[in-house]
Amino acid sequence: MSDVNMAAIQLCGDKQNFILDKKDFKTGSKGYYGTGKMVAGGKRYQISIQVVEIGSKPKPKEEKKEKE
């Protein structure tokens, strides 16, 4: 069993696998990200893949209200 995370992209009948790396996004969300290039239908494409775990962004802490 492999620990490598991969995503397959199929475009114009051509298929290619891309390696996804773990990523902590600037927003606080967690997930995976990968980039690469592929040829599909005789044309070259640049691929960018972003996979974000739903609900992984930390909830903001509530500020304590000062008593008057």
The 10s digit of each residue's pLDDT in 8-63 is 999 999 999 999 999 999 999 999 999 999 999 999 999 999 999 999 988 887 76
Phi–psi pair at 19, nearest 5 degrees: -80, 135
Kindly state whether residue 62 falls inside one of the protein's structural domains.
no
Q: Identify the residue with better confidence: 68 or 35.
A: 35
Domain boundaries, position 37: 5-52
Tally of domains in the chain: 1
Report field, pTM of the whole predicted structure over 0.85: no
Task: Report if residue 40 sits inside a domain.
Answer: yes
| 59 within a domain of the structure (yes/no) | no
**57 part of a folded domain:** no
User: Does some domain include residue 31?
Assistant: yes
**Cα dihedral angle (13, 47, 51, 8), rounded to 10 degrees?**
30
Judge whether 24 lies within some domain.
yes
Q: Does residue 12 lie in a domain region?
A: yes
Does the residue 23 lie in any domain? yes
- DSSP conformational letter for 50: E
Q: How confident is the model at residue 67 (pLDDT cuts 50, 70, 90)?
A: low
User: DSSP label at 42?
Assistant: T
